[in-house]
Amino acid sequence: MAIKLEIPTALRPYTGKQASVECEAATVGEALRRLTSTYADLRKHLYTDDGRIRSFVNIYVNDEDIRYLEKENTAIKDGDTISIVPSIAGGQES
Cβ atoms of 81 and 61 within 8 Å: the answer is yes
Q: Which range of residues in 21-29, 30-38, 68-76, 79-87 is near other proteins by CB under 8 A?
A: 79-87
Binder among 2, 37, 44, 70 for other proteins (CB under 8 A): 44
Binder among 58, 69, 71, 75 for other proteins (CB under 8 A): 58
Nearest-approach distance from CB 12 to other proteins, in angstroms: 8
Query: Which residue's CB is nearer to other proteins, number 54 or number 77?
Result: 54
Q: Is position 47 an interface residue for other proteins (rule: CB under 8 A)?
A: no
The values of phi and psi at residue 9, to 5°, are -50, -45
Query: Which residue's CB is nearer to other proteins, number 8 or number 75?
Result: 8
| Interacting residues with other proteins (CB under 8 A) | 8-14, 41, 44-45, 55-56, 58, 65, 85-94
